[in-house]
Amino acid sequence: MKETRSRPLRIGIVTDSLLERSIGGEARIANGGVGVYISELAHHLLETDHKNEYFLIRFGRGLLDIYRHPRARNIFLPWTKGRGALEVLGVGYSRVAQENRLDLVHFPNLFGGQLLSPAIRQVATVQDLTPFLFPNLHPRVRVAATRLFARRALRRCARVIVPSQATAKDLVDGGLAPASRCVRIPHGVNPAFKRISKTQEFATRHKLDRPFILNVGVLEPRKNHLLLLEVLRQLHRRGFHLELIIIGRPGWRWKDPLAMQSYRDLWPWVRILADVSDSDLVEYYNRAEMFIYPSFYEGFGLPLLEAMACGAPVIASNSSSLPEVGGPAALYADPKSPDEFVAQALRILGDSELRQHLVATGIRHSSQFTWQATARATLAAYQSAYESSAASLKF
């Protein structure tokens, strides 16, 4: 047991999985929900927890605002060509932890604690288990690394944070972590995502003169974007001439449907936007006729809540964590059935009372998810992990 439970802790947060990109000289998050989670969590811990010390650790220099926070103690490890392997094995983190006398290290995206001293408590966040459950939807190297190191990394963790009960179940069922160490901590919604007044300047700048279906997220096979085009086609045949706007950066094995001849008839009706500012994203959500999220699997599905917070009616897949996250505030359909999604879309388009109900319920429901609450619960998990005995970590 540690010497004094009440003393301030020295906590390291590994931010290598928070990817960055620079647009017009401005640093932005480049990897969707995982990046948002790490950035928001670090920011709110630094803002609200004035007792403990926080060390942000990464290979290479971080450019986002969290690294300029006056309470952040940045540790930028030298950038090397084989950085990926070093991250997985934890080379560098062990030395940093010992030199800075860290009590606890948090890996917000699963990997990294292979070489840490057993005296340093470890916490990992598992966003989802798609490399195990859907290996065909990931690069082979990622699948191999996850299968090779995940079990060993999680076995070293005093607490495993998961964003949903669905992910916790996947962990326990897969024998990767005991239920006693899993802590469900939902993600939050940035208050910038809210109802706003729609501006003519925005509509003119983006040439928006028709209602549209919106989808937001990394562009990769798991997100099931081709179903959206089938839904759009069927709605057009029924006389509902909506556009489809997809916002997200290209990911692994992304195939642009606008390059496929089979969707040639829909080309004038589909836009795929890679770089959208945060303020523009909020207005896109606000203007959407509906938000459709047909992903095959999500560990949480943050865009679903962002859409709700902005007043967009939501249709989501009835799989993985999405019904848990969306609760009574969304409609659901089988991600393998375009017909089911079309049927739900027709309900929204044809029933103004249902639409109003989804909008009002979605706003109330999404307001329950805050990053302040995520930070408080994470801090409690840190304290619990620090106070755990060595015997309790055997698995």
Read off the pLDDT band of 391 (50, 70, 90): low
User: What is the pLDDT, as a whole number, of residue 255?
Assistant: 81
pLDDT of 343 strictly over 90: yes
* pLDDT tens digit sequence for 164-183: 999 999 999 989 999 999 99
Query: How far is 125 from 53, CA to CA, in rounded Å?
Result: 20
CATH architecture of 200-366: 3-Layer(aba) Sandwich (3.40)
Q: Give the 3-state secondary structure of residue 6.
A: coil
pLDDT of residue 269: 96
Look at residue 126 and tell me whether its pLDDT is greater than 50: yes
What's the pLDDT at 394? Answer: 62
According to the model, what pLDDT value does residue 220 have?
A: 87
Above 70 in pLDDT, residue 392?
Answer: no
| Each residue's pLDDT tens digit, 143-161 | 888 888 888 888 889 999 9
Min mean pLDDT across 60-69, 127-136, 332-341 is at 127-136
pLDDT in the model for residue 4: 42
351 pLDDT exceeds 60? yes
Decide if pLDDT at 2 tops 50.
no
Distance, in Å, from the CA atom of 341 to the CA atom of 317, rounded to the nearest integer, reads 9
Distance between CA atoms of 226 and 262, rounded to whole angstroms? 11
Provide the 10 A C-beta neighbour count for residue 61: 11
The whole-angstrom separation of Cα 335 and Cα 116 is: 41
Q: What is the pLDDT of residue 81?
A: 66
Which residues fall within 8 angstroms of residue 37, CB to CB, at 6 or more apart? 108, 125, 127, 163, 187, 302
pLDDT(389) > 70:
no
More reliable by pLDDT, 25 or 38 = 38
Could you give the CA distance from residue 253 to residue 134 in angstroms, rounded to a whole number?
Answer: 14
Reduce the DSSP state of residue 14 to 3 states and report it.
Answer: strand
* Mean pLDDT to the nearest integer, 187-215: 96
Q: Please give, one letter per residue, the 3-state secondary structure of 70-97.
A: CCEEEEEECCCCCHHHHHHHCCCHHHHH
Mean pLDDT of 116-128: 91
Q: Where are the alpha helices (DSSP H) in 100-164?
A: 130-133, 140-155
Is residue 1 over pLDDT 60? no
Average of pLDDT values for 359-380? 98
| Reported confidence tier of residue 89, pLDDT bands at 50, 70, 90 | low
Give the pLDDT score at 90.
64
pTM of the model as a whole = 0.92
Is 40 within 8 Å of 374 (Cβ atoms)? yes
Q: What is the DSSP string of 289-324?
A: SEEEE--S--SS-HHHHHHHHTT--EEEESSTTHHH
Locus of tokens 């989501």: 316
SS3 29: strand
Q: Using a pLDDT cut of 70, give the percent of the chain over it.
A: 93
pLDDT at 380 exceeding the cut of 90: yes
Mean pLDDT for the chain? Answer: 91
Per-residue pLDDT at 144: 83
CATH of 10-188+371-393, one of 3.40.630.30, 3.40.50.2000, 3.90.1150.10, 2.60.260.20: 3.40.50.2000
CA distance 317 to 292: 9
pLDDT number for residue 167 = 94
Mean pLDDT of 203-207: 95
pLDDT tens, residue by residue, 271-329? 999 878 889 999 999 999 999 999 999 999 999 999 999 999 999 999 999 999 999 99
pLDDT of residue 231: 98
Q: Average of pLDDT values for 113-139? A: 85
Cα 289 from Cα 312, distance rounded (Å): 7
As given in the structure block, the two tokens for residue 295 are 């992903």
Across residues 61-66, what is the average pLDDT? 94
Q: Quick one: pLDDT at residue 88?
A: 58
Residue 383 has a pLDDT of: 96
Task: Answer whether residue 115 shows pLDDT above 50.
Answer: yes
Model confidence at 3: pLDDT above 50: no
Number of CB atoms found within 10 A of residue 186's CB:
21
Contact 192, 215 (CB under 8 A): no
Q: Distance between CA atoms of 161 and 124, rounded to whole angstroms?
A: 6
268 alpha carbon, distance to own chain's centre: 30
Domain with CATH 3.40.50.2000 in the chain: 10-188+371-393, 200-366
Characterize 92-109 residue by residue with b for buried, 16 or more Cβ atoms within 10 angstroms of its Cβ, and e for exposed: bbbebbeeeebbbbbbbb
Report which DSSP code applies to 125. Answer: E
